């Protein structure tokens, strides 16, 4: 079993979008995927409740016992924005991979800077037992905010995976309990291409 923690102490950074789409991607590869929602808002759990039966299943961690959870191929954890220092340490220690979504505003970059500093101090990361990748979220290409975000990510010392655009396709998919990988129309192709570095990184470090 491999664990992916999706985390950022800044609320509204795109954790649920990243978590649900990653879970959908891994599920359509044929893996047994468990989505763990430890955020009080339970947005990922609500997405699971809307997920239709004809697509690859993603299981809710709360509905499984410990023995069933251990049989999962992947556990994707959607964490709350208010994750505290001690809980960060515990969550990182349990994870194989940490994905950090970052929105391109000055507020998000400032708040994420403190979070990345905490991650850099974690023993599991320093000993390379846990790997960290950064993903820009809701990024408008060829804008100053996109350039500023990319510079910040490049200077972080962590792996910079991709910049995902702001797209209505994510909203449409989420409303139906789908990931963009479950959609059939060609409008998703640009977004899938932006996801390729993220999914390649996930599988290469599995």
Domain ranges (residues) in the chain:
2-201
Per-residue confidence (pLDDT) for residue 86, from 0 to 100 = 66
Superfamily of domain 2-201: P-loop containing nucleotide triphosphate hydrolases (3.40.50.300)
Whether the predicted model's global pTM rises above the 0.85 cut: yes
Per-residue confidence (pLDDT) for residue 85, from 0 to 100 = 64
Per-position b or e across 131-169, b if 16+ CB within 10 A of its CB: bbbbbbbbbeeeeebbeebbebbeebebbbbbbbbebeb
Per-position b or e across 175-200, b if 16+ CB within 10 A of its CB: eebbbbbbbeeeebeebeebbebbbe
Rounded Cα distance, 3 and 15, in Å: 15
Q: Which residues pair with 12 in a beta bridge?
A: none
Contact 160/153 with Cβ under 8 angstroms?
yes
Per-residue confidence (pLDDT) for residue 70, from 0 to 100 = 77
Query: Consecutive 10-residue runs of the chain (206 residues): their mean pLDDT?
Result: 94 95 97 93 96 96 78 93 74 92 95 92 88 96 93 96 95 96 83 97 93
Which position has the token pair 């990345």? 116
Per-residue confidence (pLDDT) for residue 87, from 0 to 100 = 76
């Amino acid at each position: 079993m491999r664990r992916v923690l999706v985390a950022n102490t800044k609320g509204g950074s795109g954790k649920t979008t990243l978590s649900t789409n990653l879970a959908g991607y891994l599920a359509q590869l044929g893996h047994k995927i468990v989505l763990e929602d430890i955020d009080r808002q339970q947005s990922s759990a609500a997405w699971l409740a809307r997920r239709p039966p004809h697509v690859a299943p993603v299981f809710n961690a709360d509905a499984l016992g410990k023995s069933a959870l251990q049989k999962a191929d992947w556990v994707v954890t959607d964490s709350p924005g208010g994750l505290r220092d001690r809980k960060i340490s515990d969550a990182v220690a349990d994870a194989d991979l940490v994905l950090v979504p970052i929105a391109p505003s000055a507020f998000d970059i400032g708040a994420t800077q403190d979070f990345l500093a905490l991650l850099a101090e974690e023993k599991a990361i320093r000993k390379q037992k846990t790997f960290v990748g950064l993903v820009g979220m809701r990024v408008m290409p060829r804008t100053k905010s996109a350039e500023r975000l990319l510079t910040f990510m490049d200077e972080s010392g962590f792996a910079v995976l991709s910049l995902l655009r702001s797209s209505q396709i994510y909203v449409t998919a989420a409303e139906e309990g789908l990931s963009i990988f479950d959609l059939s129309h060609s409008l998703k192709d640009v977004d899938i291409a932006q996801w390729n570095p993220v999914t390649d990184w996930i599988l290469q470090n599995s």
